Structure 1
Amino acid sequence: MISNALKKLNDLFGREINYLRISLTDRCNLNCFYCEPSRCYEKFPKREILSVEEIIYLVSIFYDKFGIKKFRFTGGEPLLRHGLKEIILGVRKNLGDYVELTITTNGIFLKNFAKFLKDTKVRVNVSLDTLKEERFKKITGCYGLSNVISAIDYAKNLGLQLKINTVLLREINDDEIPELINFSRENEVKIRFIEFMPISIDLNLWRKHFISEEEILDTIKKKHELRFLGIEGIERIYLVDGGVEIGFISTVSHPFCKGCSRIRISSEGKIYLCLFDHKGYDIKKFLRPEIKEEELCNIISDVVKFKPEGFIKFKEEGTLPEFGPVMKQVGG
């Protein structure tokens, strides 16, 4: 199905969409409080979740018709997804190395998949918010830090391409910033600090635990030399002590919305154009009971035009968004 792209996806702000994140499941084995919504929600019935074949087909369509080459599989926890290996093998069979595949995981089961992911050239981002077991339990609701640390070490020794994602939280793990940087240095794994976003969460809880990039940098500067290197995609990159690169994804303090090039497909088959938008656009109806390819491509092209301005609009207005989509359902 490999061919030259027929049409680029652009929104009304002139942004080109070249990155698709697909949630493989809304199930997760952890209950991180910043991911769990403060309102009740029901998990999708399994029959409503996109099938293995539908996901492989969608990746091929977005590549073949719209020229998208960058795909990330998310969750929930994507390593829980039955058929994960079949999805990745199917994409590689159809598209080979023409596409870049990445997966975001909490790392609990990473050791079981690390060799497969390396062999299929899938890069991995591992969530790691603390180096303290009891604190891990406080954040995630479960014990499991030793599994994650062990998996990172195992995957690194295999040669799997890894990054660490850390959500920093005031009065919870912000005192671990130096230790996390040292962990990154000692393990030669890049770390990215991610600002806590006001999505799916009680805004009072968000206000209590939000910590900005500037505050994090002030903490780092007390112990380390720091130099700003520039912006790479959505990341702001710094060099620590002349040797360790750390990244920041600072959605709140430094919104990157004007250059946002991503959209998401939730595990039940809806397109979400922005995490700060409520609306999901159903595309599964063009896959079942039979595929309607022309209609599917037309709706994708039309829907993308309505990608909203993003968090930058709320920042400029001095307001905060109401609840967006549930993170476990749409993917981070």
Structure 2
Amino acid sequence: MGKLLCDSPAAAVAVAVAEALPSSPSPSPAPAAPLLTWPSPEPTTPTSWTSVAALEDQQRRRLHRIWERGVAWKPSSPLQPLVFRLDHAGEVDADGNCLFTAARRAAAAKPDARDLRHRVVRRFAHVYAAADAADRDAVDAAVRHLYDPDLKAGWGVHVVQELKLLAPKAHRDALDAAIQDLVDIGVQREMAAETIYKERCIAVNDGDSWAKYMSVSGSAEDEHDIITLQYTEEGLLTIDENRDGHAAAFGDDIAIECLATEFKREVYVVQAHGADAMVDEENCVFFLPHRPRGEICEPPIFLFMKGTAWCGAGADHYEPLVATVLQNVTPDKAAVVL
């Protein structure tokens, strides 16, 4: 699953962050992980767009036209323009790690999804540590917008807003005991849990806490459990206490940019919107670019996301796409030019 910024104040913040942080950061206290290497993709049987689940007719027709005519990529020199045919490369588990699973499959990378997640976090930490105070403030603002929003605002756009908190696994018993203490003196269980979690857990509201949050893959080896508080305009709606510790941090735009930097390749998220997005068929598929910091050394990686409403609201699952070069198609004949 993933969280994507699109046509929202958060998108503007994300763009500002991308422009603010240095493309070639100065050395930081901890060296970044080495860039990924990957073999040539093994032959994969592409999935026809006619057989991809949960697509509306207009999405399917537009994706098929793009498949027929291709997507033109026009990089800066010395790389040459290419035209790609995009095939769906199959579904991945909706376990919260789908961004990393899909990226791994699309790039034919060696690390597993959990290792790739941790490489992304290390890459982010390296850049964040090297940034100046103003640039870190911009990153912090983007993180707060995503995971610690101002609950006095935003209700014209969102029906439900979430706060993400991190509970150290080693502290769960102590947190439960503190909640029970409040219940014993007459506080409602849900209100007691909200109070204790807000007081004693880590809010995801800056770059450092984002790194801790994005490290969570839903495995027993994680240091933290994710607690989610959901609110409506009237107040607390529900608390996901994640008792089994299986909740993973959904990939977001910050993580995708770090993936691009790790691979030295652009990452395009291909969003396909249905009729509820109120867009015509010609414009129901669009490509959201995420560029690496520094040089681009290889063709892009393409990931697929199905939009379920305007601005992709509710679309939080990534699937891999296989890009095959079309030898006899010129960029001016392609359905889409990037």
Normalised by the length of structure 2, the TM-score is 0.26
Normalised by the length of structure 1, the TM-score is 0.26
Larger Rg: 2
Structure with the greater relative contact order (CA < 8 A, sep ≥ 6): 1 or 2? 2
